Structure 1
Amino acid sequence: MEKLLEMAKKVSDKAEVYSIGYTHNSVSFKNAKLHGIESKIQSGASLRIIKDNKLGFAYTRNLANRQELLQNAIDSLEGEVEANYDFPLTEKLARIDTFDPSLENVLSTQMVEESARVCDLLKSETDAEISVSSTTYTETIRVMNSCGTDISGESTFYVMYGSLVFPGSASGIWGAFLSKDFRQMPENILNEMIKLYTSSSKIVEPKGGKMKIMFMPNSMIALKWRISIGTSSKSVYEKVSPIANKVGEKIFDERITIHDDPLNDKHPGARAFDDEGVACKPLTIIENGVLKSFYYDLDYASKLKAKPTGHGHRTTAWGGDPISIKPVPALTHMIMEPGKKSFSDLVKSIDRGIILEGALGAHSGNIPNGDFSIGVSPGLYVENGEIVGRVKDAMVAGNIYEMLKQVVDIGDTLYPSWGTAWLPPILCDNVSVTTKN
């Protein structure tokens, strides 16, 4: 990498080399039987150069031919993508605990045994179609640039997913467990899955209309996505965010507080720096319902004359290969402050409504504007504080900027939700539901 950076500095005004290497091992069970074992080792590097305020970009999985990679970056300057920013000089980083060396020694046989244990337990309590997957990740990232930055970090990540799919359907109850080291999936997660599944085995066909909706961690992607887009500096710059001029104003219920905290190493996936080498720090997005700040990468910080917040990440809405993606503003470590109500208390407060365990079509609707229209997959129907069955063929629609002003309550427990976000269940009122009836 050092040689590539020196070569790039000779033909550009500014240069950056990003490299990543990772190992992942996974085990999957379908229908409670071993389905597959996979191991993957991959690495690569990408190069960004800036010349005459234009951006060049190229990437490779093999650094054997540095000159070819550099030439590809030079050729891409012809695209005339503006780059009026400087790469950072980052020398001091927060010390965070992201790596557990024991995970590197975990054998596939251990993962198979743990997955089989989970399958057996779930099978003994339900008639569901059971799927379980477990994966270990070890990752190393390094960022160097022509300003003198040379920083690196390594992390370990263990994740296990379990699902109980209702017979004759494609929807079910999901549970997830994340850790920096290998350990058994906690009993409380499995018990919650079993309880939700068994209480909703009956199919019901309620009438539609306005009712209470409890968004669970698996369906929170519909809200998380719209909050992330609405508070992105990219959306502000492109004039598509409806809250672009509302910093300091109340936009949600006062019980909603949302942070992005990459330094929180209580959970796996913490980051001391982003993919552009900017030091990460906690950032409050929403506080007591009031919009406090937007988040920035280098590019949009420059365009909006703001300071970068350490949110330049090589990702897309659907993930992707970080080597091949240029950094964009991304809210990767969202945490919503929990409330004080247990899940059972939240259910008891529903006179008529749906627990939205999963959502289909979270990508539909006008996302920047906060609109959503999602399929219930599944939805657990509640009457008079009790789950009476599950709903099929129903749609939930609304706008987050209206709905999140009508919060009934927020759960007291944080759950992993779509990556490294940690969110509680949230119960909202007067949400539109369309059913067969």
Structure 2
Amino acid sequence: MLEKLIEIGKRYTDEVEIYQINSFSSGVSFENGILKDIDSSIQSGISLRIIKDGKLGFSYTKNLLDPEGLVKNAVDSLKGDIRVEFSFPERRELKVLNTYDPEIENLTNTKMVEEGQRISEILSQATNTQINVGVVKSVSEIRIINSKGVDYSTKNSSYMCYAAAMYPGSYSSISRIIVDKKFKEFSKEDFEYITFLYNNSKKEVKAKSGRMKVMFLPTTMYVLIWRLIYGTNGKNVYERTTPLIDKIGTQIFDSSITIYNDPFNDSLPGARAFDDEGVESRVLPIVENGVLKNFYYDLYYGSKMGIGSTGNGYKVSDWGGEIIRVRPTPALEHLYMKPGDKDFHEMIRLIDKGIIIAQALGAHSGNIPNGDFSIGLSPGLYVENGEIVGHVKDAMVAGNIYEVMKKVVAIENKNYVGNMGVFPSTIFEDVSVAIRE
């Protein structure tokens, strides 16, 4: 059917690209140890892009009942006059990745409910507080075919489990996320991490504002990484809205920081040999030993800059929207930070006075293009003389990543999944902390 759509498209246009997705997810959630929801969702459909006379057209459908109508809708969209300077890619031999574990198909809702209940009971007994848990499995299949000979497909399996110990009377929590390509038990280490941080920070304490050491956990490193993602996005480079223009090859962070995009790491879900435009993936260093190495591009902005795509064109859907409605844009979907040499407890002992940021509020605020951030702590764990003494309320941390990330004290020796990537806990010094007294 897709081959037929290509042939129809070629009658009307110069180049044709089809993106097809079929995905299924199923999940359970617990609130305060009680099963709250069992949910499932299916997403499928086709996106069509065409190039004719140097202009780009787009259309999509959930059901390919009228192939000719889909093509004509894309042709009609050419009136939008989106001029492009690229062609769709030709076929290449791709890296073979292990992205699917058939065991995921045998994971039942009953098993996920049992795991959620087990986690809730263990953490509830260990912390004596409300425990919220979510467990989700998903399988997705993507196929990309174009008129230049590309015909790639991938099947991905994913398992995710999230657990949070809630502070009484608030939405603040200590949490951990685990992911795999198949079912994976919440481990002894995961339980101990949540229990240690929560139990040692139960007490609300008073502290004074000032400049001090601040540790970002893997769950909050995204506050900083978000600004770097913006700053190195090819769209923003082209539009000159990033302060990193002309900074390739210069030191922007501490020499201990290395951040890279690795779509080939198939030990975790979501590895990709090609992006959502059929461009071959590659490992892309973003920052290496503190030095800015690369910006990242899709076909559109790569051609605008005269350097081509870096294999980072993805359909990124915010807030659970449908992928087929979205056009590719530059995206870092497989971001990692190189671990350091300190274990977690050793890192805490390095803090004479400071804050551990377990959750952040308002990460979207501040001048993101400039690298600024200003976040509420939800919670902020207060540390004195290398020990967690409690948590502070009504506290904020603010700064600029191009200043803060030059002052690294220590980086954890292990990575964990967080928002926007896989990161170690990291301590920075001389960071501004404001606490209501």
TM-score interval for Structure 1 and Structure 2 normalised by the shorter chain = over 0.9
Work out whether 1:429 is the aligned partner of 2:420.
Answer: no
Residue 291 and residue 347 in structure 1: after superposition, are their counterparts in 2 closer, same or farther (change >3 A)? same
Q: Is the 8 A contact 1:315 1:321 kept in 2?
A: no
Aligned partner of 1:362 in structure 2 is 363
**Stretches (4+) displaced over 3 A:** 316-320
* TM-score, scaled relative to structure 2: 0.98
Question: Equivalences for 1:353-432 in 2 at 5 Å?
Answer: 353-418=354-419, 421-432=421-432
2 CA distance for matches of 1:319 and 1:81?
26
* TM-aligned CA deviation for residue 123 of structure 1: 1.1
2 CA distance for matches of 1:398 and 1:320?
32
2 CA distance for matches of 1:151 and 1:51?
23
2 CA distance for matches of 1:175 and 1:13?
49
Name stretches of at least 5 consecutive residues in structure 2 with no aligned partner. none
Aligned partner of 2:324 in structure 1 is 323
Q: Is the 8 A contact 1:5 1:16 kept in 2?
A: yes
* TM-aligned CA deviation for residue 129 of structure 1: 1.4
Q: Deviations over 1:236-292 (max 9, x none)?
A: 101011112011111100000111000011111111110000111111111110111
Aligned partner of 1:198 in structure 2 is 199
Name stretches of at least 5 consecutive residues in structure 1 with no aligned partner. none
Amino acid at match of 1:88: P
Aligned partner of 1:244 in structure 2 is 245
Q: Is the 8 A contact 2:43 2:322 kept in 1?
A: no
Amino acid at match of 1:433: V
2 CA distance for matches of 1:31 and 1:336?
33
Aligned partner of 1:27 in structure 2 is 28
Amino acid at match of 1:110: K
2 CA distance for matches of 1:242 and 1:234?
13
Amino acid at match of 1:71: K
Amino acid at match of 1:388: V
Secondary structure, counterpart of 1:154 in structure 2? strand
Q: Deviations over 1:301-354 (max 9, x none)?
A: 100001311100000565632211100000111111000011111111111110
Aligned partner of 2:94 in structure 1 is 93
Amino acid at match of 2:252: I
Q: Deviations over 1:200-243 (max 9, x none)?
A: 00011211111111011111121111111111111110101111
Q: Is the 8 A contact 1:260 1:285 kept in 2?
A: yes
2 CA distance for matches of 1:160 and 1:434?
33
Q: Deviations over 1:390-432 (max 9, x none)?
A: 111111110000111111111111010115x110011001111
Q: Deviations over 1:97-140 (max 9, x none)?
A: 11001101211111111111111101111122111111111010
Secondary structure, counterpart of 1:269 in structure 2? coil
Secondary structure, counterpart of 2:370 in structure 1? coil
Aligned partner of 1:141 in structure 2 is 142
* TM-aligned CA deviation for residue 151 of structure 1: 0.6
Q: Is the 8 A contact 1:87 1:147 kept in 2?
A: yes
1 CA distance for matches of 2:87 and 2:396?
47
Secondary structure, counterpart of 2:171 in structure 1? coil
2 CA distance for matches of 1:64 and 1:76?
20
Work out whether 1:70 is the aligned partner of 2:74.
Answer: no
Q: Is the 8 A contact 1:131 1:162 kept in 2?
A: yes
Between stretches 92-101 and 66-75, larger displacement belongs to: 66-75
Secondary structure, counterpart of 1:68 in structure 2? helix
* TM-score, scaled relative to structure 1: 0.98
1 CA distance for matches of 2:337 and 2:322?
27
RMSD over equivalenced CA pairs, Å: 1.1
2 CA distance for matches of 1:186 and 1:60?
42
1 CA distance for matches of 2:212 and 2:408?
12
Aligned partner of 2:153 in structure 1 is 152
2 CA distance for matches of 1:274 and 1:300?
15
1 CA distance for matches of 2:187 and 2:240?
45
Secondary structure, counterpart of 2:369 in structure 1? coil
Q: Is the 8 A contact 1:57 1:76 kept in 2?
A: yes
